[in-house]
Amino acid sequence: MSSRMQPRSESTIRRSEDGSALISANPLLSSLARDVRELQISLGAVEFETVHLHEPAGPKSLLATVKADVIADRAPSVSAEPDGTVQVHACHGPARQVEVLRECLLRLFEDDPTLQPRDVLVMCPDVETYAPLVRAAFGQGVHGHPGHLLRVRLADRGLRQTNPVLAVLGSLLDLADGRATASEVLDLAATEPVRTRFSWGDDELERLREWTTEAGARWGIGSRQRATFGLDAFPQNTFNTAMDRILLGVSADESENAWLDLALPLDDVDGTDIDLSGRFAEFVDRLAVSLRDLVGPHSPAEWLRVLMRALDLLTDTAPADSWQSAGAHRELAAAVEFGGETVLRLADVRAMLSRSLAGRPTRANFRTGELTVCTMVPMRSVPHRVVVLIGLDDEVFPRTGGVDGDDILSRDPVVGERDLRSE
């Protein structure tokens, strides 16, 4: 199509005044083609010449009939018969959707020997919800189920899932304004960057879990953190109290039930555990310092310093994984780059970083020769023979874009403005 720009003659049309959806006879064009209709309206003042490129006639199928009805803008053909080229499955829950997906793909591969995993694209609104389910149903490399032999590539994962250092940062932000329960602290200690920093093995982590339970640590690092909940006068069952019992257990014996000041030594600490108890105490102390600094409010530059210091105190990476720390520092710097001198609270930083760490469309993990699972982005399905949509639940899809209260123009948009729901 060639075009020559001409000055616009008509005035701007408000989206609320646009009645183009009522013109189309095809219901798919009426309900799903707002972007295309508004593009035609926006280009209405442009002089152009249209050239139709006719597609060679293919085998008659239900999919071909639906495409022909859309192209011709006519009502759906009532004579079309189901033949498997278009399938709709109603499933209960995400786990069942993935199971049905696996069985349908196995049937397609069996019926068509020329079909390869690289020809299949699975799209869903929320990749993070379906990622563990897809991993469990596909690509296990075992012979218990034919679907386990299918190799799957997950694309568009959030940075928190692909970069363990950023995952630690997200956990720290959650702990900063939470109760810091024993399970949350031990889960943080078990992450790969923290394990590398404090040189913990699997057996040592299990030992820490046993100590934490026996020493009575339940929630809160110390009295300072409990002050947020109005319980700073009750240091019992905090990690600081538990560490007193563990460290006293290194040099004292609990056999006589003798209290030392306000702590009862933990009897389950052997002489060989001295180094481990010291590393655990260092971890709890560094975590307390990091959470104290994360309370805020701070300026963007101060938030950058505090977050980077927390990562330096608690995380480390192997030389081959040094890109994780570099990537985390780069994302932090980009998130606060345009903050100026505005004072930000912890909730503001969490919201700002959640957008930066969320899944985003990328070019990675595409066309790798494997079955691909990705987010729903227009035109990604073009090179694939089979396109599957899962997760189209009523409360998830289509997305509803919230109106920013500070954006007055979004309250009454004009034709052609971006609309996430239409996309």
- Three-state SS annotation for 249-303: HHHCCCCCCCCECCECCCCCCCHHHHHHHHHHHHHHHHHHHHHHHCCCCECHHHH
Torsion angle of the four alpha carbons 303, 305, 307, 310, in this order, in degrees rounded to the nearest 10:
-140
Instruction: Fill in the amino acid letter for 46.
Output: V
Q: Are residues 282 and 385 in the same domain?
A: no
Predicted pLDDT at 3: 40
Number of structural domains (the chain) is 3
Peptide bond into 378 cis (omega under 30): no
Q: Are residues 187 and 279 in the same domain?
A: yes
What sign does the dihedral 262-268-274-279 (CA atoms) show?
A: negative
Q: Are residues 189 and 290 in the same domain?
A: yes
Domain that holds residue 69: 2-83
Predicted pLDDT at 256: 57
Instruction: Fill in the amino acid letter for 66.
Output: V
Q: Are residues 235 and 271 in the same domain?
A: yes
What sign does the dihedral 121-126-131-132 (CA atoms) show?
A: negative
Q: Are residues 54 and 190 in the same domain?
A: no
Q: What is the CA radius of gyration of the chain?
A: 29
List the pLDDT tens digit at each of the 423 positions of the chain: 334 444 444 567 888 778 787 788 888 888 888 888 888 887 777 777 878 777 777 678 888 888 888 888 888 887 778 888 899 999 888 999 999 999 999 999 999 999 988 899 998 888 888 888 998 888 766 666 777 778 888 887 777 778 889 889 989 988 988 888 999 999 999 999 999 999 998 999 999 999 899 888 898 888 888 888 888 778 888 898 888 888 888 777 555 556 566 677 777 777 777 889 899 999 999 999 999 888 878 888 889 899 999 999 999 998 988 888 888 888 888 877 766 678 888 888 888 887 777 666 666 656 666 888 888 877 777 788 999 999 888 777 766 666 666 777 777 788 877 777 777
Q: Are residues 68 and 205 in the same domain?
A: no
Q: Are residues 218 and 69 in the same domain?
A: no
Q: Residue 375, SS3?
A: coil
Any residues with CB less than 8 A from the CB of 166 and at least 6 apart, and which?
A: 159, 160, 324, 327, 328, 331, 357
Separation of alpha carbons 264 and 226, rounded Å = 22
Query: Where would I find the H helices in 118-266?
Result: 127-137, 159-162, 164-176, 182-189, 192-198, 202-215, 223-226, 239-251
Q: Are residues 312 and 186 in the same domain?
A: yes
> Does residue 301 fall inside a structural domain?
yes
Q: Are residues 247 and 113 in the same domain?
A: no
Q: Looking at the DSSP assignment, which residues form a beta bridge with residue 314?
A: none
DSSP code string of 217-231: --B-SSHHHHGGGT-
CA-closest candidate to residue 178, choices 281, 344, 295, 284? 295
Strand duo 371-374 + 152-154: pairing: parallel
> Does residue 403 fall inside a structural domain?
no
> Does residue 343 fall inside a structural domain?
no
CA-closest candidate to residue 195, choices 225, 174, 214, 167? 167
